[in-house]
Structure 1
Amino acid sequence: MTKTYYGFMDICFITEVWFGNCFNIDTKNHKIIYGSTEAQFGYTVQQHTAGGQKWLLVGAPFETSGPHQTGDVYKCPLNGKSNGNCTRLNLGRISLTNVSERKNKMRLGMTLASNPKDNSFVVSGINSSFKFSRTIAPAFQRCETYMDIVIVLDGSNSIYPWFEVQNFLINILQKFYIGPGQIQVGIVQYGERVVHEFHLNDYRSVEEVVEAARNIKQRGGEETNTARGINEARSQAFKRGGRRGAKKVMIVITDGESHDSPNLQKVIEDSEKDDITRYAIAVLGYYNRRGINPEAFLNEIKFIASDPDEKHFFNVRDESALKDIVDALGERIFSLEGTNKNETSFGLQMSQAGFSSHIVEDGILVGAVGAYDWNGAVLKETRQGKVIPPKSSYLEEFPEELKNHGAYLGYTVTSVVSAKSGRLYVAGAPRFNHTGKSQFVLEGALEISDRSQNSRFGSSLAPVPDLNGDTYREVVVGAPLEDDHRGAIYVFYGHKDKIQRKYKQRIGAAALSPGLQYFGRSVHGEMDLNEDGLVDLAVGSLGSAVLLWSRSVVHIHIDVKFEPRKINIFNKDCRRGGKEVTCMAAVVCLNVTATTPISPTQEVALRYSSFIEERRYVPRAMLDDSDRQQPRNFTLLPGEESCEHVYFHVLDTTDYGRPIIFTVEAGLQDPDEGPVLDDGWPTTVKSELPFWNGCDEDDHCMPDLVLQSRSDLLDRK
């Protein structure tokens, strides 16, 4: 279909830029989904499809489930019929089948990863219908804090004051990582008789155990039957709630020699057979208050303690000094938790596996930032088993001379496809040698040199499908601390096998909404969310998730033809200003094509202007009428053409060798609405209009030169 307009177009010198945005993410029309800032709603975002419905998944890792801060994930519908209300998945209430859980501070929703094969996503293995498909236990090595600790507490009359003992209990309990799959604590109090204050599996958090310890009263008694107390703990307490495979630890606290000391030999031998590690604390208050030599007492307590004494035996001057050994005792137990007998460093015990995740064809990559003394590691979970690279495999990248630098390898994990090497796994190590490192060959850095430091540029990174129609994928990078913690994201073009180092579009939170903070802490873009055929972005913020729509990218094609094709200055066919002049017409045609999907009914609002360039020594040509008229506005459908005649005249001249330059500039009426112009596509066309030189229309010239001569010399004979 062709639209044709006839009229006059006057000269216009263009001073404004019409093509507006240099990329096609809409900053004027967007959607913000709000949630709880306390729950850190928006920490992660993920586009998702389930049952023919499009959803936005939003992580809230500080969400509470009952008394526990488990974290959770919200699903937010994106279809036109929905009001946009988000629903909690309540993942924190579900118990995993193959792991021991510590419900409090689970931080569900801190990482989200989609699986395009079956539309599932990874929090703990959620299928496309938001049901648990399978669970993953990323604790690739059972943490050595899998311990059962029984405290054997002397409560005889000689212990004084009791509140000092209670304070010690509370302080040491607060040192332990108590919870399912970790430490359990039971307390036995003894004097003349033995009482189980509470069993190993009675309480499942530090808070619960501490509260129970506050309520323990001194039982009293005239005798100190330490052997009976130890034997009761060995034979009964470790069985009441004890777990198979858990390391057994006993802490004995007493202030005097036992009245049943003949039984100690057998009790300690049985404890050794049961593989119980014993810490023994001698409280010398009773002896010091009465001036009694404690040597025999100290020897007995050393006998109770496991070997070597320097690691397992303590003595304090009185009950009030118990607080002075809390740190030392905690550190020695922590050392027991974290290492094997012949090692002094951590393997995978403190790995924090699951800090980041990424789905690949045959499994899931899991970042473990705490592994190997917090150098970090990348692990892989597959249906065939776990792939755990040993510490030795990282020695080249993390040499021993940089010991204890805490690189945090696995802070982020992803993968890319290389034509040479197949799929490459990529992991970030942001604290390597206090500078950070990626295991890739460095080919340059993405540039944001015009912004301030400390913006956390790179906190999130998302490869997204082609946005501008050049067939190359793009990359979106978040900088959530930019602009005084308001945040921003940057869009970088892809080109062939690289990413262009200069960003094409920056979107700051301030341009979207004044209330946004930490905008860009997470980014994801893989789906068309509003059903216009274009890939859209989801961006996480503090307490909100922002949906940004893509806009179609168009090219404006300009074609100019002249009637007649050349200026014949001898043909004075019209009058202007009382003078006979040569009149001409330029036929200007414009049409629009899209490089990305666009609706066939989408009208594109255009404007264009034309003018003739004035140049020295070139004949003056003028558009008819005045030169102050505004640019021409009109609309076109994709593939539709609009043509218009522009009339002008040419004045007399003596220089016909240089052509006249006729210029057309086109652009959009409103850069903030509808499609955007491809910033790499020309929007100005300059056409040369030559003068007629006497040749035919095909520039074929036939010379008609006659030479006549005569001589004025006299003939000589």
Structure 2
Amino acid sequence: AWTDDQQTGDVFRCPMDDGTTFNSSSSHANHVMTRLCGQTCGPLWSHECGSSVYTSGVCTHVGEHFQILETVIPAFQRCETFVDLLMVVDGSNSIYPWSDVTDFLVNILRKVNIGPGQTQVGVVQYGSRVAHEFRLGEHRTVDEVLQAVADIRQRGGEETRTALAINMARCAADLNSGRGGRAGAHKVLVVITDGESHDNAQLDDAVARCKSDNITMYAIAVLGYYNRRGIDPSSFLKEIRFIASDPDEDHFFNVTDEAALKDIVDALGERIFSLEGQFGKMSMAQAGFSSHLLQDGLLLGAVGAYDWNGAVLKRNPHGNLLPDPSAYGDQFPEELRNHAAYFGYSLGSLVGSGGSEVVLAGAPRFNHSGKVVSFTLDRRGNVNVLQALVGEQMGSYFGSVLLSMDVDGDGESDLLLVAAPMYCSQDAHETGKVYLYKVNTQSQALLVPKGALLPSPALNSRFGAALVQIPDVNADGFNDLAVGAPLEDDHQGALYLYHGHHRSIHLRHTQVGAGRTVEAVTQTSLVLLRSQQPMGSQQRGCDDGGGA
């Protein structure tokens, strides 16, 4: 829900005190919830990179008194426009008219997204001497930069000391210089000159130092002086090509005169601020679309990552782990790369003996029929795929909802339930279906099929859209199961109750609560839920720093 104009969403805390008392047999049952905290995520949280908007997602760790303890953006990547850009401009006497140069600077910098977290600009002018017109970060908005550029006056000079100017600009971009260089920023120098350098003996060293500092260099040869006097520019062009980073076709420009600088504005801007490259991998990640708490960290599903094939990210006190899609071997073939599997749409885990955990992640659009992958993920991000389950019907959204159950309460997972809420009956109605798998952590076959749950004959029920383990309702010593069917009873919804039995559940439901009467049916269950934290709850101790 949202209550503000920007539709960012809200989370409400609702009191559950209905006046009903419950006498728990556990001495700690009435206190277990008092020191627990919550996690809430906004997968559509976005940030701007220039004119583009990227939905990386955000998660917030909420304290026991509903206060925000920490906010993280687990899949955040800096913009490709996070650039320290230095314009190194020849202002010697041979440049004419100077207004064409400042017009060029205004036109190119007008296209730059200047601001915190994006691009900052500095300008160095040189001739016989070298001077900073303004330093990196000195002007923090586009308007400020454009005004400063418009005020630059040509300094003149009989010499063109290009090597010295490059060295000065390189030092300005250095993180330790105190002149505005930023950690992680892409360093770019654009050299604009109309003649060979008078300090070319130092040029090799200046260019080599830039290369060593991972500075990208664009070089623009202005041929006005040569063309006006009929001088062969070959030697000059050779020097400018040497300054430009490789390959020359991407980093070297030459124009007939100062007025022609305007013709390369678009091409130069596109090359400097291209949003291609690695940014696209997580730019639409929507991290936090799903989440699941592990013993040693927090799993977050990022369904929009890797062009909507999806990803699973693990956050722990040591940082983020994001396995590459190739880490899952042949589970996601290259030929299906453009099919938008939505891996990470649902998350879960299986708990084995000794507290060992196996990660579960659903990809309901994989090959149109859905898939669930079970795997281990170590502290270094290495993935070991144990087993994959594949849906039987196209469009069923198999794997969109996962639930591991500890039926007998011994702390180990007994069952895995995988929902396909859009599973269609023979008459093409979305009845839904929930698949049962017995968990056997000691066997080569981790998950063994054990039948399925189906709703009572109902049209478009979407049975399985919600699954939750609930504490023992019928007092037989085994935990029970509730299955939601939100479209049943003319979209009023229904809740199905299944009783646990040893390490499994009865395949036939014992009770169905229609939407109109579900409050009375589930009141006892709600009281029990308040007294016990279910497996997989997205809550944790307030003093535990491992998850958010």
What TM-score bracket applies, with the shorter chain setting the length?
0.5 to 0.7
Counterpart check, 1:226 vs 2:180: no
Equivalent residue number for residue 444 of structure 2: none
Alignment partners' CA distance in 1, 2:308 and 2:39: 33
Q: Is the radius of gyration larger for structure 1 or structure 2?
A: 1
Deviation at 1:381, TM superposition (A): 2.4
> Closer, same or farther in 2 for the Cα pair 1:538/1:185, shift >3 Å?
farther
Determine helix, strand or coil for the equivalent of 2:192: strand
Moved more, 412-421 or 240-249: 412-421
Residue 165 of structure 1 and its aligned partner are, at CA, apart by 3.4
Q: Distance in 2 between matches of 1:478 and 1:289?
A: 74
Deviations 1:353-401 (A, max 9, x none): 725341232222233457667754323223466544355423412334x
Q: Secondary structure at the match of 1:229?
A: helix
* Alignment check: 8 A CA contact 1:46 1:56 kept: no
Give the residue type in structure 2 aligned to 1:298.
L
User: Which amino acid letter does the alignment assign opposite residue 323 of structure 1?
Assistant: V
CA distance in 2: counterparts of 1:278 and 1:258, whole angstroms = 16
The equivalent of 1:382 in structure 2 is: 316
Secondary structure (helix, strand or coil) at the match of 2:216 reads: strand
Counterpart of 2:172 in structure 1 is 236
CA gap of 1:136–1:293, structure 2 versus 1, over 3 A, is same
| CA distance 1:374–1:132, shift in 2 (3 Å) | same
Residue 163 of structure 1: which of 91, 103, 118 is its match?
103
Q: CA deviation at 1:255?
A: 3.8
Deviations 1:279-308 (A, max 9, x none): 222234554566554323212211222344
What's the offset of the Cα at 1:190?
A: 0.7
1:216 to 128, 131, 149: 149
Give the Cα–Cα distance (whole angstroms) in 2 for the partners of residues 375 and 549 of structure 1. 31
Q: Greater shift after overlay, 227-236 or 143-152?
A: 143-152
Unaligned runs of 5+ residues in structure 1 are 1-32, 63-68, 72-100, 112-122, 339-345, 449-456, 466-470, 480-488, 509-521, 529-533, 540-547, 554-593, 599-669, 679-717
Cα 1:359–1:129, aligned 2, differ >3 Å: closer, same or farther?
farther
Unpaired stretches in structure 2, ≥5 consecutive residues = 17-32, 374-387, 406-414, 424-429, 437-449, 472-480, 487-491, 498-508, 523-548
CA contact 1:370–1:376 (8 Å) conserved in 2:
yes
Tell which deviates more after alignment, 215-224 or 189-198. Answer: 189-198
Deviation at 1:146, TM superposition (A): 6.4
State the 1:311 CA deviation: 4.3
Q: Partners in 2 of 1:672 and 1:187 — Cα distance?
A: 67
How far is the alpha carbon of 1:524 from its aligned partner? 9.5
Partner of 1:323: 265
Change (3 A) 1:501 1:202: farther
3-state SS in 1 of match to 2:120: strand
For the Cα contact (< 8 Å) 1:416–1:425, is it kept in 2?
yes
Cα offsets for 1:142-162 (capped at 9, x unmatched) = 998765443324456524533
Deviation by residue 1:691-717 (Cα, 9 ceiling, x = unmatched):
xxxxxxxxxxxxxxxxxxxxxxxxxxx
Deviation at 1:425, TM superposition (A): 1.0
Could you say what secondary structure the match of 1:216 adopts?
A: helix
SS at match of 1:389: coil
Q: Is 2:268 the partner of 1:314?
A: no
Alignment of 1:276 with 2:276, yes or no, is no
Q: 2:345 aligned with 1:412, yes or no?
A: yes
- Size of the aligned set, in residue pairs, is 422
Task: Decide whether the 8 Å contact of 1:250 with 1:279 is kept in 2.
Answer: yes
TM-score, normalised via structure 2 length: 0.56
Q: Say whether residues 1:393 and 2:327 are aligned partners.
A: yes
Asked whether the equivalents of residues 362 and 370 of structure 2 are also in contact (C-alpha less than 8 Å), the reply is: no
1:372–1:492 Cα change, 3 Å: closer
- CA contact under 8 A between 2:86 and 2:189: conserved in structure 1? yes
Displacement of 1:233 in angstroms is: 1.0
Aligned to 1:660: none
Which structure's relative contact order is higher, taking Cα pairs within 8 Å and 6+ residues apart? Answer: 1
2:236 aligned with 1:297: yes
Match of 1:185 in 2: 120
Q: Aligned equivalents of 1:676 and 1:167: distance in 2?
A: 69
Cα deviations across residues 253-297 of structure 1 (Å, max 9, x unaligned)?
334444555553443344345443322222345545665543232
1:125-164 superposed matches below 5 A:
125-133=61-69, 138-139=74-75, 148-154=84-90, 157-158=95-96, 159-161=98-100, 162-164=102-104
Shift of residue 135 of structure 1? Answer: 6.0
Q: Give the aligned partner of residue 498 of structure 1.
A: 452
Show CA shifts across 1:541-593 (max 9, x none). xxxxxxx897899xxxxxxxxxxxxxxxxxxxxxxxxxxxxxxxxxxxxxxxx
- The answer to whether 1:365 aligns with 2:313 is no
Query: Is residue 447–residue 502 contact of structure 1 (8 Å, CA) maintained in 2?
Result: no
State the distance in 2 between where 1:285 and 1:503 align.
Answer: 83
Partner of 1:356: 289
Q: What's the CA shift for 1:595?
A: 6.4
Query: Does the CA-based 8 Å contact 1:366-1:410 persist in structure 2?
Result: no
Aligned equivalents of 2:370, 2:130: Cα separation in 1: 56
Which position in structure 2 is the counterpart of 1:16? none
Q: What do the CA deviations read for 1:461-483 (whole angstroms, capped 9, x no partner)? A: 58699xxxxx998969699xxxx
Contact 2:307 2:340 in 1 (8 A): no
2:392 alignment counterpart? 444
TM-score when normalising by structure 1? 0.45
Which deviates the most, 310-319 or 385-394?
Answer: 385-394
Q: List per-residue Cα deviations over 1:23-80 (Å, max 9, x = no partner).
A: xxxxxxxxxx6624642537x9998998699999795956xxxxxx779xxxxxxxxx
| Partner-residue secondary structure (3-state), 1:381 | strand
Query: Take 1:245 and 1:671, find their aligned partners in 2: how far apart are those partners?
Result: 54
- Is 2:192–2:219's contact at 8 Å kept on the other side of the alignment? yes
Q: Cα–Cα, structure 1 residues 36 and 148, in superposed 2: closer, same or farther, change >3 Å?
A: same
Q: Kindly indicate whether the alpha-carbon contact (under 8 Å) linking 1:188 and 1:229 is maintained by their aligned counterparts in 2.
A: no
Q: Among 242, 247, 253, which residue is 2:192 paired with? A: 253
**CA offset digits 1:119-146 (Å, max 9, x no partner):** xxxx143333344555656359999876
Correspondences of 1:316-715 after superposition (within 5 Å): 316-317=255-256, 318-326=260-268, 329-330=271-272, 338=278, 352=285, 354=287, 356-362=289-295, 363-368=297-302, 375-383=309-317, 386-400=320-334, 402=335, 405=338, 407=340, 409-410=342-343, 412-415=345-348, 417=350, 423-428=358-363, 430=365, 439=373, 440-445=388-393, 498-500=452-454, 504=458
User: What does residue 568 of structure 1 align with?
Assistant: none
Q: For the Cα contact (< 8 Å) 1:490–1:504, is it kept in 2?
A: yes
CA pair 134-243 structure 1, distance change in 2 beyond 3 A: same
